[in-house]
Amino acid sequence: MVETASDRTSPRIQQLSFFLENRLGALRDICRRLENESIEIRALSIHESADHAVIRIVVDKPSAARLSLEREGHPVFENELLGVALPNDAASSMQQVLQRLLMGEVDIKYVYSLIGPVDDRPVMLLKVENADWASHVLVEDGFVLVNQDEIV
């Protein structure tokens, strides 16, 4: 039986997204600001265009990071990601995760990796259409999901 969002028990990871002017030093300034507030970036994805970039980050303190970014005038959007701990043979494991989600008819929006392992295992971050169903599919197949507290 598929869980509803209100009954959700599977782990999730908060991702923050914001626009950043495409200029020299802009990303460095953001990183420095977060570092000065003792906020660690654990994953980063940048999608660049001519005049701006969409920055996606996973941090150890999402609420504090959101406030910091908003104080600097960056509207912040939050999304939930699934974090899947992979066995040390990451290349084969990523293929297994993707194959299992395909078999479960889960629509993957994007994927990137966590900076640094969790329990000595690489972690794959996924934005999917139906996170509850994707969680069910992966856990049923024996994959271990990672939550926000484990990425510190």
Residue 116 lies in a domain: yes
Same domain, 86 and 42: no
pLDDT band at 10 (very low <50, low <70, confident <90, very high): low
Residues 83-93 have a mean pLDDT of 80
In sequence order, the 6+-apart residues with CB closer than 8 A to the CB of 102 are: none
Same domain, 41 and 63: yes
Same domain, 37 and 63: yes
Flag whether pLDDT at 85 surpasses 50: yes
CATH number at residue 110: 3.30.2130.10
Worst-scoring range by mean pLDDT, 4-13, 43-52, 118-127?
Answer: 4-13
Residue 49 lies in a domain: yes
Same domain, 88 and 139: yes
Last residue of a domain, one of 50, 79, 108: 79
Structural domains of the chain, count: 2
Domain range enclosing 56:
13-79
Same domain, 72 and 130: no
The span from the first CA to the last CA of the chain, in angstroms, equals 32
Residue 1 lies in a domain: no
Same domain, 92 and 58: no
In sequence order, the 6+-apart residues with CB closer than 8 A to the CB of 61 are: 38, 39, 40
C-alpha 49/C-alpha 11 separation (Å) is 32
* pLDDT tens-digit readout, 103-128: 999 999 999 998 888 888 889 999 99
